[in-house]
Each structure stands twice: as C-alpha cells, then as structure tokens.
Structure 1
Amino acid sequence: MKTLVWRSAVTAAALIAALVSGCDAVNSLNNEASNPVTPEQSRAQVVDAATDLVDTLDLPVIEAFFWHSSCNDQGEAPFRGQIRIAYPPAETFDASSEEIAQMAQRLQDRGWSPDPNFKSHGTVLKKNNVVAVLGPQNASNPNRDIQVYGECRDMTTTKGDNQPEPVTLG
C-alpha cells in the first residue's frame, strides 16, 4: 500500500512539474513535440518577440543573450529558444515596480496578455505562444531583466548546442 501511495505522489509531482514548466506543447509520455521546429525557427520566434518588446517599450538594452534551453531537467530535447534582455535598474525598488506595471500595460495594449499558467516571481505576459517574464529588481543583480521563452518544439538541438550568444534587438 505504501508503494502505491508513493508512486501516486511521484506521478502527481511529475505532472505538476510538467504543467509548471510552461512546455504545454510537449507530450510528456513520449518526449516529443507536436509540430516540431528547427533550431533556427525557435531562435527566430524569440528574437522576433524580444525585438517587439524592446521596440514597444523603447527599452535601453544593456545586453541581450540568446540560447536554446532544454524543457526538462535532463538537458534533452525538446528545447526552446530563450533570451535574456538586461536593462538599467530604477532608482528604487518601488520605482521599478511602478515601471514594470507601466511596461506590462503598454505590452498588453500591443496584444500581450497575462499568462496565469506560467509560474514566476516576475510579471508574466504571453503573445503568439511566447512568454515574457519582466523580472523584479533585486539587490544581487546590477541590472533588471526580461526573460523571453519560446515554445518547446525544437527536437534537434542537443546539450552541446545551447551556448549563450549575444544578440542585437530593436
């Protein structure tokens, strides 16, 4: 009986982890993506979305990096494109919170919408199956950032192919 309860708990935990991961396009039973894309397509998906964000917000980008990130803890396919956009901090945490709220509203005016299914400490928005997380300012990071996550549909990238590279946006 204990084994059955333990297995049920493990199965439930795995299901919750899959749901929280944001990779809803992945079939967790056979580790395949519906309608797979190439690494170039997964890159273009997030670069286009990040460019839209930067242009909409007239964001002063300090640096931006792209990489392919695995959608599971094993570092295996499927992968998705991901971008981190760093921009200057606000003068205070309160000012940062206000700016982020204004930024989120501007993005919502341009077709982005809240995504309650993607769990984060930041402000989460989604458009065209791409998720953007406007991270809160914190004392341990000299800059604020926006993380942009594409869909988990790249089945050909491998662990060795996911090194960060600088990108120019806007």
Structure 2
Amino acid sequence: MDDRQFRTAMGKFATGVTVITTEHNGDIHGMTANAFMSVSLDPKLVVISVREEATILNKIKESKNFTVNILAADQQELSMYFAGQIKEPREVVFDRLDGKPVLGGACAQVVCEVSTEHVEGDHILFIGKVTDIHLEDKEPLVFVNGKYHTLAGISTS
C-alpha cells in the first residue's frame, strides 16, 4: 500500500477538529489536529499525536503542558489558520483556563500537564493529565474525506 492509499483510508474515519495550544517563553503556539482521544477516566488522561517535524513539538516538551480546544462548527477558519492553510496573519485572541491559553468559543477546552511521551513512527504521543475543563453547548466541527462538515441537520433516529 502506498502513503496516499493509507491517508485516504484514514480519512474515512470522521473526527472532531482540535487546535492544540501551548505557551513557551511568553509566546502562544497552536496546531490543528484530529489525532486526539481520551485514554482514562481515573486518572483523567488524554493523548495527542504530534509529528516530529511540527514546530509545536519542542514547545510542548519544554512547557510540559498543552490544551486541547475542540472546535465548534463555526470555527473552521481557526482550524484552517492553525493548519497553515490560511497564510495571511490573523489576530487570534486567547482566553485563559487554569492559566493556560485556550480558544474562546470552542465546544470544549481541556487543559493538560504532560504525563508521559512515546515515540511511535514519525510522531510523538503525549499523554496528558487533565487539570481543568470548560464546556460550551455548541455543535462540533467535523472532518471526514478531507473536508469540513457540521452535524446540523443530521438525524440519528
């Protein structure tokens, strides 16, 4: 199998969209990611996957913390900006939760301390111990088949 076939197959799995943020030396860094999942309820743990070449990688290693911002349906532009798809500079306003930078308007903001990290293939998996959470009653942004979607109008009955 080639890389394109693998990516296409993985793209069939619908995911939420997150922006991972961290603060290092007074600067806030962010990266769009859909490689995120909960790991444990007791203790409360999540995992994110960051490519070895990602600019944010060493920032997370040095700060020892990260936040996961689960984007709302109206935050596609933020996803595109932090994915590098929008090149022109944008002023992004960050809120604070537990002293850490978070994106206002997200469905959920999850603040984490790095518990452990694992090298797997060309990515580093960061296990984060959840220290705080903020929730909003909003619909999530969804990504599948290389495109953004919303859940509006989708019925499960």
Band of TM-score, shorter chain = under 0.3
Higher strand share: 2
Higher relative contact order (CA 8 A, sep 6+): 1
TM-score (norm 2): 0.27
Pair member with larger Rg = 1
Higher helix share: 1
